Structure 1
């Protein structure tokens, strides 16, 4: 409780404030109360031994979950990249397959000596650009015959060969990377004597 002490003159403010402590300590005396002993608060990290083992097990479980999720995400990202690349390769292969008849027409015109002047320059640029996209032609006389990449249009026997070979290429084959766009058409010569009556 606080009381204001005045000088006794009316209209004047009190000069000082006296504060009295009316709290009673032990035994209802006027002694101020003294605080008792303070018990330390329990530490947050002080857990029972069994609880620590449970927390460690949970931490290991969460760590394993996180590692599994990270591995799954890495596999997903690699699969998406692989799928995008495959879709791009399929799109390029479809476009190039549609241009193969144009290349056949250029080859026929070249065989007849009609690819000259400006048309010859256009044909060269077209072939260069298609090569830049990964288009490769294959098939040459003397190549070993491979049914996976060659299409036999005709077949003769010859004692001059030891295994089936492409004696002549009638139409070149094309591939993009490892993808076969079209097999090469070939005249095949097989080993063995020619049939009677055939030179």
Structure 2
């Protein structure tokens, strides 16, 4: 028996070793397939399993991002709403502090003392307060609403069909939707039998 190394020394050709570096699919048979044979079931590609994992992670991260974005939007809206409410409350407090000044101006106007330069100051003050949202209410003839009016006196008369403000003694004020003070009024009601 001759070994390959021996045959090489005596002038014969060495044995050839063939190495195939191509990779083969583990799911495929090496034998040629006949037409009537059952084909092997292809195995799942490991890349597809990895893609499924990545899709699942992407869905989770997307849902998490949507939740965080929604929470941030709600937080931002709440902060804006709270800032607006604090601003309106601060404005209402400042304007409520100026109501005695407006009452004094109203009394001076009734006595005819708002004239000349003082009249111009009053007009500018009232215009600026109106620009800040201060509104007065209460006029004679308004229906009496106990939420808006404070009845100072009450008389009965057949000239009215329902409780009515016949005289406004002190105007009421509001800023925006916030109620600062009720108006003081003399109220007339219909007779008891009506």
Name the TM tier (shorter chain). Answer: 0.7 to 0.9
Query: Using the alignment, how far apart are the partners of 1:187 and 1:113 within structure 2?
Result: 23
What is the CA-CA distance between 1:106 and the residue it aligns to?
Answer: 0.4
Any residues of structure 2 matched to 1:142-153 within 5 Å, and which? 142-153=141-152
Any residues of structure 2 matched to 1:82-121 within 5 Å, and which? 82-121=81-120
Any residues of structure 2 matched to 1:166-181 within 5 Å, and which? 166-181=165-180
What is the CA-CA distance between 1:54 and the residue it aligns to?
Answer: 3.1
What is the TM-score of this pair, normalised by structure 2? 0.74
What is the CA-CA distance between 1:39 and the residue it aligns to?
Answer: 5.3
- Structure-2 residue corresponding to 1:22: none
- Structure-1 residue corresponding to 2:189: 190
- Structure-2 residue corresponding to 1:62: 61
Q: Which has the higher strand share?
A: 1
- Structure-2 residue corresponding to 1:123: 122
Query: Using the alignment, how far apart are the partners of 1:187 and 1:38 within structure 2?
Result: 107
- Structure-1 residue corresponding to 2:36: none
- Structure-2 residue corresponding to 1:75: 74
Instruction: Answer 1 or 2: higher relative contact order, Cα 8 Å, separation at least 6.
Output: 2
Query: Using the alignment, how far apart are the partners of 2:149 and 2:59 within structure 1?
Result: 59
Query: Using the alignment, how far apart are the partners of 1:68 and 1:141 within structure 2?
Result: 56
- Structure-2 residue corresponding to 1:138: 137
What is the TM-score of this pair, normalised by structure 1? 0.73
Question: Do the aligned partners of residues 187 and 47 (structure 1) sit closer, same or farther apart at CA in structure 2, a change above 3 Å counting?
Answer: farther
- Structure-2 residue corresponding to 1:6: none
Structure 2: segments with no counterpart, 5+ residues: 1-7, 9-18, 25-44
Query: Using the alignment, how far apart are the partners of 1:54 and 1:153 within structure 2?
Result: 78
Query: Using the alignment, how far apart are the partners of 2:71 and 2:192 within structure 1?
Result: 62
Q: What secondary structure is seen at the aligned counterpart in 1 of 2:189?
A: strand
- Structure-1 residue corresponding to 2:21: 37
